[in-house]
Structure 1
Amino acid sequence: MRILVIGGGGREHALIWKLAQSPQVKSIYCAPGNGGIAEKATCVPISATDVNRLVRFAEEKAIDLTVVGPEAALLAGVVDTLEERGLKVFGPNQAAARVEGSKRYAKELMKKYGVPTGDYRVFSEGREALDYIRRRGAPIVIKADGLAAGKGVVVAETLEQAEQAVKRMLQDKAFGDAGKEIVVEERLTGQEISLMAFVDGETVVPMVPAQDHKPVFNGDKGPNTGGMGAYSPVPQIPTKIVDQAVQEILHPMARGMAEEGLHYRGVLYAGLMVTEEGPKVIEFNARFGDPETQVILPRMKSDLVEIIWAVSRGRLSETSIQWSDQSSTCVVMAAKGYPGSYKKGETITVPEPTRDRIIFHAGTARQGDALVSAGGRVLNVTSLGDDLRAAREKAYQTVDQIGFDGAHYRTDIACKGLNV
């Protein structure tokens, strides 16, 4: 089987790492890929949102299955165009991907189909938003409606922070069209978990849960990022809570989208807050999470190719997934200054990977024989262990062996799972 993976980050590296383990795979291409992906796949210099060139490439190389990584590609319509040309593809179409592309749309679907989430209002005018926020008070959450690379969410602890966020999004247009509308919602409190599932219409097959770390600094301080690390399992969240989320959130959302005629096929990601009232949705994504994928796929014992091939053919109900009892931890090494401005081109040296120590590349490139930084999140250092403490220790031991001047990373990844 010839596979094309669209994207060029740590998530895509993890996908390729797992796909390459399947005996069904003959060759893997990645568009555009990165410096680490180039070691396992043939990278082609095509943007993830250049739909026409991607489709032409898939046809020229007789690609059997295309796997779409980033949300921008989904919302650009690459799935729709590939399907129109009779090509198999894994990922929801453009209409279904709106569940991530518009927070307003996702909230409206949740309300319509009884999926538990926080109270909210939508605004396109700053004065109305500020009046509402002043009446509600802080803390409160302000979100850009559209895609903002994981940075369009502000958890405002004070009214001043909320006012600054509204001004930045609506008046300063910090996120362009993605911020022309904002969603203002109540702040949910509790433990967060990321719960992903393979979805084929109304068939839902959940993956093991993970916990992401969005803020850039230890103790969940500082601005939100695309994710500074993750771990799985999440021992402090009881299994019954995860089962409740599957039954009360994932299944109703899948049924609701089916009723809307969306024919959802791919991964549905639910970012959840476990409140005193039970799990509630913070956000939905229409693809594999990043960096959650980097800790979940190493725990998957099943053949990923078989699973996504079944989804692409509408036969997910015929599959099952086996999981390892091991724990995994991922520490993101970012460029200094991220998520703000940062320098590229820093030389990086990494140790050889082992069975339980995997370094997924996110923002790297090759300059001759040298590996250099080429993005904000640069490396995803993932380790497996018999328990969470062992996995965490291995991950940070590996971080210490990496040469990367100016690297920034959190030192408290997985501490919540250890009650530290």
Structure 2
Amino acid sequence: MNKSMNRWQVLIASTAILLCTGAVYAFSVFAGPLSATKGWSMAEIMLAFTINSAISPIPMILGGFLTDKGLSKWSITIGGILFGLGFFLTGIVTSPAMLYLTYGLIGGLGQGLAYSGCLSNTIKLFPDKKGLASGIITAGMGGAAIIAAPIGNYFIETQNVLYAFRMLGIIYLVVVLIASFFIKEAPVNFKPTGWTPQTKNGSKVVNKNWLAMLRSPYFYLIFMMLLTGAFSGLMIASNASVIGQQMFKLSATTAAFYVSLYSLSNCAGRVIWGSVSDKLGRNSTLNIILSVIILAFIVLVTLHSQIGFALGIIVLGLCFGGVMGVFPPLVMENFGPKNQGTNYGIVFVGYSAAAFIAPKIAVNMANANGGNFSKAFYVAIAVALIGLVTNFIYLQMKKKMTKQQNMEGIA
């Protein structure tokens, strides 16, 4: 189906919404002041962030299901409103339980619904530039903290942390409501004007629902590749400041600067690697990303200087962003665009698994080694190697399948 519509308008509006919902990753800016204001321990407060992250697969799958049914605008709008409401209500909490409800549950559900709807709907509008569109959309999510952190800090310094939550919540609600007017549903089998889909060796992508996807061996390989690809980025994202201070003897201020630099690299990597994958292919790009991740960790364990830390942080940020930009189109190319929302939501459980495992491994190993993360870095290298092996198996299976299809075609 070829229908005239301004797909770039949808992309911009979707990115604007994710620049709001991605503010969840700036939680560290609010955690300390909230602890000081309320007298709650950091462990109690950080549990809200854990809840927010842990429930992500549920709204991701639900949002994907709504998107696949042509209801992405509902998923995006409801999700964005829930997130803004969760932020605002966090500004009036009186107990940790309320914090878990507002920031953890309401905010987490809203974030997942909006992210899933924005991502799945938009890349259906860019079958010719799936990597670029995925990169820009996920960059909005990854780069939101760069904007939210200084604004939130300004409100905290001029007023207080609860005021900051309320004001940001109101701002997010306004942005979401305005941007939602520019969200349009992707038509079924949308093709941009002048673009003709290219098939590889005459093969054709078949739309598969989630049950058919789970019966495919490619699902389990892609799931494992996402888990191994995101592992290193999540390990660094949750511990960057501590690593800088404990291993590289940086001041808290300097370490905080590198945390922001990591977020910026993460944001840029989603666009850069997404575009590269449109030209080189998803799996070739993933091979490069995983190889570079290994090199970056080698730099971190061998160069015990600020330069070594800077190189490692920047490169790992770029690669983490690349992983998040490559996998949405990879899922679509394997299982078709029709059920992309639901299918990617299920695959995204691999990311959630990495988010649960990686930070814990890093912290436990560092605590057991006097604050040194080197052994955790070696684990990350091993995980990246597993990712390379999994990607190799995937490519070999694809080659075998293509060869078999060609032989059947000749016959």
TM-score (norm: length of structure 2): 0.27
Greater per-residue helix proportion: 2
Report which of the two has the higher share of strand: 1
Higher relative contact order (CA 8 A, sep 6+): 2
TM-score by length of 1: 0.27
